[in-house]
């Protein structure tokens, strides 16, 4: 099998996308550490994997602390003597408008989504370096383009993307690749938003759209991308932001100069007022990834 002999850690794998990733990695031959904060969820997924003949261990811990992240990686090392693949999937969302968001709201999301990604990698990468091989797959989000009520979530996922690009540069010399992915999945994390969009359609006298019509797909449809990126076949792929939404696969462009204008002698405020629109300002870059009725545009 594609991942025979490999050991994979999947954070936040008690439900949703993480569960789908863990199961497909195990079906591809990897030994998997299942992680979540809820013991029942961990036990269920470990049981599912063992039920089809796969190998799995569970770790109930939060990625939001260095201690919790360390416990997750130690589970892999103690049980399987190595860590080859790290899927940083654990994430939470506390949707609030900026004017209503508290410091606690912000800090909790950053701690899990951004610090948790750092913490798990910090513990796992030394093991990968020793073996001269590793795969890090981080979950980012289209929310980095802007999402109402998502100051903490969008900033955390933007940070995850930046970590991914930095680690791709820093770790390549050790045989370790790092890529970020995103997928619009119908999970508990997106449930409220999907329901709001459906209720809004009904209020307008329209038929409620399906999850797929809103741009949300089954978590299982994204799992093959994780398995592929974790394999030797994807060793040439590094530092990429890859999207998979049902049947659509896409590479996202990194932030580079979209349009450039040169003014000999430099720009003044007056020159900017005169020339911005006719040089770099037409058109301006799109922002936001949801239409007003809740459908995905990315």
Catalytic residues: 153
Residue 44 DSSP SS3? helix
Give the integer Cα–Cα distance in Å for 97 and 99.
Answer: 5
Q: Residues 32, 1: contact at Cβ < 8 Å? A: no
**Token pair of 31 as six digits:** 């030994």
69 with 44: CB under 8 angstroms?
A: no
How far apart CA 156 and CA 118 sit, in angstroms, is: 11
* Backbone dihedral angles phi then psi of residue 237, each to the nearest 5 degrees: -100, 120
DSSP for 70-139 reads: HHHHHHHHHHHS---EEEE-------B-GGG--HHHHHHHIIIIIIHHHHHHHHHHHHHHHHT-EEEEEE
Pairing of strands 85-88, 241-245: unpaired
């Amino acid at each position: 099998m594609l991942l025979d002999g490999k050991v994979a850690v999947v954070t936040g794998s008690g439900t949703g996308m993480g569960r789908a990733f863990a199961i497909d990695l195990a079906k591809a031959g990897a030994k998997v550490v299942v992680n979540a904060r809820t013991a029942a969820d961990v036990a269920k997924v470990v049981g599912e994997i063992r039920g089809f003949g796969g190998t799995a261990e569970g770790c109930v811990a939060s990625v939001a602390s260095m201690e919790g992240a360390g416990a997750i990686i130690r589970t892999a090392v103690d049980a399987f003597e190595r860590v080859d693949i790290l899927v940083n999937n654990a994430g939470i969302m506390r949707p609030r408008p900026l004017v209503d968001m508290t410091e606690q709201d912000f800090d909790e999301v950053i701690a899990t989504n951004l610090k948790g990604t750092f913490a798990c990698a910090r513990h796992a990468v030394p093991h990968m370096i020793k073996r001269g091989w590793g795969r890090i797959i981080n979950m980012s989000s289209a929310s980095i383009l802007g999402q109402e009520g998502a100051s903490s979530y969008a900033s955390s996922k933007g940070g995850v993307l930046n970590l991914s690009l930095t680690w791709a540069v820093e770790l390549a010399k050790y045989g370790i690749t790092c890529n970020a992915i995103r997928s619009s999945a119908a999970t508990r994390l997106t449930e409220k938003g999907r329901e709001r969009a459906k209720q809004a359609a009904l209020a307008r006298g329209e038929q409620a759209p399906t999850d797929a019509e809103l741009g949300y797909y089954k978590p299982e449809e994204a799992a093959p991308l994780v398995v592929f990126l974790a394999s030797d076949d994807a060793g040439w792929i590094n530092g990429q932001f890859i999207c998979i939404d049902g049947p659509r696969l896409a590479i996202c462009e990194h932030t580079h100069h979209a349009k450039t204008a040169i003014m000999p002698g430099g720009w003044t405020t007056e020159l900017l007022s005169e020339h911005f629109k006719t040089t770099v300002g037409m058109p301006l870059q799109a922002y936001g990834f949801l239409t007003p009725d809740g459908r995905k545009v990315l």
